Amino acid sequence: MSATADTGTTRVALVTGANKGIGRAVAHRLAELGGCVYLGARSEVRGRAAESELRSEGLDVRFLSLDVTDESSVIQAAKRIEEEEGRLDALVNNAGIGGPPLPPSSTPLSEIRRTYETNVFGVIAVTNAMLPLLRRSQAGRIVNMSSVLGSLTHAAAQEDPTGVFPAGIFPALLDYNTSKAALNAVTITYANELRDTKILVNAVSPGFVATDINGHRGVLTPRQGARIPVLLATLAEDGPTATFVGEDDTPEGQRLSW
Ligand code: NAP
């Protein structure tokens, strides 16, 4: 799996939920590689703060108001990219949430719905809105920020190939895990629809990254967690589609089972 060093190919990128954490680090890296990066954020204050930090390094980063659960915000975001750039080369569906860690049998349905709104339906809404722009790219790439917790194979075996959780321990988070399993299915479904186009669609498990989502218990920095998402966002023409790639410190990452 090789990445394009040619930043002319992956020039225009959108990262959702990019005001902090892994999304911010992905936006940062893609901009360092020479891209024009739309930094999607639902809060103007938080989005502008991240934008100005990255711009102070001379990077072409543009705050884009985008709440992935708000259809009109998604449509407005696509309109702005169309007006300014006319196309999109890479979409990183990063925005994600998880509810409080409760046993499945006592997780309120409202929590599950809330998580799915962002992690699944939000991704579908943004992908559908951006696809006309991605189709105009010479090398459209879609990267869905999943998690090894969404792997049905590894959940059933209670075994984490990424080594974060010891054998026999696999967190059973009903809202989060099943939303990422659904996201994995969404990834394969789009990849299959788009097989005869130049658009490659893949899912990533970024590793256990210290961010707000896990109370900073992760062991990787956001920049380390951004490595595989950036690799998938800048894949060369002969790169894979419909794969699930995890961080394991090897150059290409590890292929995970769905
Ligand atoms: P994070 O620091 O909590 O960042 C999550 C980002 O998503 C924030 O920018 C947040 O914005 C944004 N967001 C949430 N709901 C949104 C919405 N409706 N519209 C737009 N943006 C929204 O967590 P993270 O660890 O960087 O997570 C990024 C992605 O990686 C998630 O999909 C997560 O599931 C995945 N992931 C993380 C880990 C890990 O170890 N950290 C492991 C596997 C997968 P606000 O600031 O406005 O809340």
Whole-number pLDDT of residue 10: 65
Pocket-forming residues, ligand 1, beta carbon under 6 Å: 16-17, 19-23, 42-43, 46, 66-69, 94-97, 118, 122, 145, 147, 205-206, 208-209, 211-214, 218
Cα 196 to averaged position of ligand 1 atoms, centre (Å)? 31
Ligand 1: residue whose CA is nearest its atom 43: 147
Q: Best of 15, 16, 20, 164 to mutate for ligand 1, by most ligand atoms within 8 A of CB?
A: 20
Residue 166 has pLDDT above 90, yes or no: no
Looking from the CA of residue 18, the nearest atom of ligand 1 is 9
Better-scored residue on pLDDT, 6 or 127: 127
> Confidence band (pLDDT; 50, 70, 90) for 9?
low
Cα 17 to averaged position of ligand 1 atoms, centre (Å)? 6
Nearest Cα residue to 250 out of 223, 231, 222? 231
Better-scored residue on pLDDT, 162 or 97: 97
pLDDT tens track for 16-35:
999 999 999 999 999 999 99
Residue 3 has pLDDT above 60, yes or no: no
What is the domain partition of the chain in residue ranges? 12-255
Whether 176 is catalytic is yes
**Helix, strand, coil shares of the chain as percentages rounded to 5?**
45, 15, 40
Whole-number pLDDT of residue 241: 98
pLDDT tens track for 51-96:
999 999 999 999 999 999 999 999 999 999 999 999 999 999 999 9
Burial string for 217-256 (b: 16+ CB within 10 Å, else e) reads ebebebebbbbbbbbbbbbeeebebbbbbbbbeeeebbeb
CATH of 12-255, one of 3.30.1380.10, 3.90.1170.50, 3.40.50.10540, 3.40.50.720: 3.40.50.720
Nearest Cα residue to 12 out of 93, 85, 92? 85
Cα 15 to averaged position of ligand 1 atoms, centre (Å)? 11
Residues 156 and 249: their CA atoms lie apart, in Å, by 25
Whole-number pLDDT of residue 7: 44
What percentage of residues in the chain have a pLDDT greater than 90? 92
